[in-house]
A and B are shown apart, each in its own frame.
Chain A
């Protein structure tokens, strides 16, 4: 099963509300995915700074060691390291040498990415999602059907800077696609099929595709069932497989675009009673971008 949600704000006045709106959407989707949850939030960014979200034990040790280089924000099992772009080698070098056990969940100017095993309400609260602000965010509640319930298996997956993807469905050609993408120089942290989909989109974007073109290429190359919601630094996208196997409903107003696996996830949004409610068509790339 699995539940996915996404919220892309058009109205900057809503930005302080992003976290709590997204948290409420995520929690409603508990019945579709009670075993783990995750989310990515695109918050404040700085052209000269990078943010790296890491996950693992003894994060205070990391904060101390990199104190002169990076500002660390600890949230439960995750820590966001923010540093001047020029310090990237230093930070990555230190992590690789001293803490290879840590998992980097996301890197970019604006993305922060958190995921954990547990009920969505618990996961949202552990990371204080309701208090987060930002321009857009996506989330996932997981009901694992073909692999173990682990934090690594939780979504979103990020395979490129400021890029992330959540997936409801299953891909049947992810093994062969993974080998092809590895030839292209991509690396994968898990055996999860959804990470391959994320990698595929990252690869197409790297090759110069627009987000729309990358998704349309995916219609040819990705075999299986999928509803994807995708975030980039300034963009938000939705795509469903050609037979629309997995559910999706969207709401759009002057203030936001929202996605839910079910309408129930959208009922708490401001002005939902006057929103344009629609079901995204199969095999059609829906993309919103903010400049």
Chain B
């Protein structure tokens, strides 16, 4: 089990070692000590390994992740799991802005809160936030599921496409073209699956409300022609 101490080893060397891992590596569980808020930790990994970061990480932690499981025993800065393709990123603390931005796949779990623009432009990732999320979350979100056990800030889901948003607490306000929708059995099934994958117990899918696109911005309305 490799242990990389960033007080001794450079971040470039850490990431280069992670990038060099073959798919059949035996070094499947890495520990990173003394991260001290460094940026781009474990970004661009493409191997089925587990990387545990013991402390707070900076910007773009686990960005572009494929296959790997990245666990942060602390907080993360802006853009955790940005553009993740697959795998799993688990933040034990809070996340700063733009958590899971543009991510295509995989699962992002945040045990604490996520601040503004969580899931902005998400393209298929599943995000489970056990705390609350900040304003402008799921802005222009295109696909995937955003599950929030706490509250959501202003302008949730502004201009969103086909992402499903599930919020258990209060929503401060909905963004343009985002509306509340019925929580049907198929949505409860999706929620139950995601809650289970995120290790959430004792919370029923029926406690959530579902929000999605009214699809009112998808097509040009001829009534607006005079505006152009």
Contacts and interface: CB of A to CB of B under 8 A. Distances in A.
Interface of A: 243-244, 247, 249, 262-264, 266-267, 277-279, 281-282
Q: Closest 7 interchain pairs by CB?
A: A263-B37, A264-B37, A267-B36, A279-B115, A244-B116, A263-B56, A279-B96
Contacts of A279: 94, 96-97, 115
Contact of B135 (A264, A266, A282): A282
A263 B94 contact: no
Given A263-B37, A267-B36, A282-B135, A249 B77 contact: yes
A244 B116 CA distance: 8
Contact of B78 (A243, A247, A278): A247
B71 to A, nearest CB: 18
Interface of B: 36-39, 56, 58-59, 75, 77-78, 93-94, 96-97, 115-116, 134-136
B116 A277 contact: no
Given A267-B36, A282-B135, A247 B56 contact: no
B78 A277 contact: no
Contacts of A247: 77-78, 96-97
Tell me the dominant secondary structure on chain B's binding face.
loop
Tell me the dominant secondary structure on chain A's binding face.
loop
Contacts of A281: 115, 134
Nearest to A247: B78
A249 B59 CA distance: 12
A189 B65 CA distance: 49
Contact of A264 (B36, B93, B134): B36
A247 B36 CA distance: 17
Contacts of B115: 244, 279, 281
Contact of B58 (A243, A262, A277): A262
A247 B37 CA distance: 14
A263 B55 CA distance: 11
Contacts of A277: 56, 75, 93-94
B75 A263 contact: yes
A244 B154 CA distance: 13
Nearest to B78: A247
A282 B117 CA distance: 12
B38 A249 contact: no
